[in-house]
């Protein structure tokens, strides 16, 4: 009896297509006289390239960036982790999927390594970013009047420049474990969609 994929198998359409091609080839090899035709075996869906940018004064966002990079790589994606100071707005349209993790400092200010990108994106001549998908995790402390302002501003400004949010902004208070877990889980879903 030829091998087939049960209707209830928990695969996406692309995964089913790949498996069907594989099973057709296998059925043909196992039973050449069956008349089974082979379908070209298409490559399985590849993971997404993502760039994770961290804006951090005392290391929390940078550490979460590393954790996120590992989590997404474990799901088959291709993350690149970068210091926000090393990116300009002109780089963003070739990135595809941008994930920002940033804190807020001073009195609602960006951390030092995020200040240049923050200013360039908020300048009048900032480029339109229609090719960009993005998500922002904003770290902060609700004892401050300008709670999570830097992350919120990045989210608002990227949207205004035409970039598409992969998910709504996630804001985090000082205990960031649960918001980080939510950000990671929602990203995994969004990037596999
Ligand atoms: C001097 C100082 C100023 C801060 N200002 C703000 C602020 O204006 N708004 C806010 O939400 N959080 C503020 N925070 C909290 C930080 O954003 C929070 O501790 C964050 O987790 C730090 O992450 P980081 O290590 O990646 O910079 C401030 C913290 C310090 C020490």
Q: What is the pLDDT of residues 137-162, one digit of tens each?
A: 999 999 999 999 999 999 999 999 99
Hey, which of 141, 155, 172 would you mutate to test ligand 1's pocket, going by the most ligand atoms within 8 Å of its Cβ?
141
Average pLDDT, integer, range 23-28: 47
What 127-130 contacts at long range (C-beta under 8 Å, 24+ apart), as own/partner pairs, is 127/89, 127/90, 127/92, 127/93, 127/161, 128/161, 128/162, 129/89, 129/92, 129/93, 129/158, 129/161, 129/162, 129/163, 130/93, 130/162, 130/163
Cα distance from N-terminal residue to C-terminal residue, the chain = 34
Q: What is the pLDDT of residues 36-60, one digit of tens each?
A: 444 455 554 568 999 999 999 999 9
More confident residue, 5 or 75: 75
**pTM listed for this prediction:** 0.81
Is the predicted pLDDT of residue 28 greater than 50, yes or no?
Answer: no
- Residue ranges and CATH numbers for the domains of the chain are 10-45 (no CATH), 49-192 (3.40.50.360)
Q: What is the pLDDT of residues 62-105, one digit of tens each?
A: 999 999 999 999 999 999 999 999 999 999 989 999 999 999 99
Hey, which of 56, 58, 66, 105 would you mutate to test ligand 1's pocket, going by the most ligand atoms within 8 Å of its Cβ?
105
Tokens read off for 173: 């208070």
Residue owning the nearest CA to atom 6 of ligand 1: 105
């Amino acid at each position: 009896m030829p091998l087939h994929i049960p209707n209830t198998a928990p695969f996406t359409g692309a995964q089913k297509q790949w498996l069907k091609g594989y099973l057709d080839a296998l059925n043909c090899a196992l039973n050449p006289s069956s008349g089974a035709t082979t379908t070209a075996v298409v490559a399985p869906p590849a993971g997404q390239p993502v760039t994770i940018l961290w804006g951090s004064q005392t290391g929390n966002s940078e550490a979460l960036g590393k954790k996120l990079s590992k989590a997404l790589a474990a799901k088959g994606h291709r993350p690149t982790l970068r210091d926000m100071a090393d990116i300009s707005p002109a780089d963003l349209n070739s990135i595809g999927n941008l994930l920002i993790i940033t804190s807020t400092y001073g009195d609602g200010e960006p951390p030092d390594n995020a200040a240049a990108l923050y200013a360039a994106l908020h300048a009048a001549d900032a480029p339109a970013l229609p090719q960009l998908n993005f998500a922002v995790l904003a770290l902060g402390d609700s004892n401050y009047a300008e709670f999570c302002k830097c992350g919120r501003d990045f989210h608002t400004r990227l949207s205004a420049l035409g970039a598409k949010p992969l998910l709504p902004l996630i804001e985090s208070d000082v205990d960031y474990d649960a918001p980080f877990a939510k950000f990671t889980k929602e990203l995994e879903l969004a990037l596999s969609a």
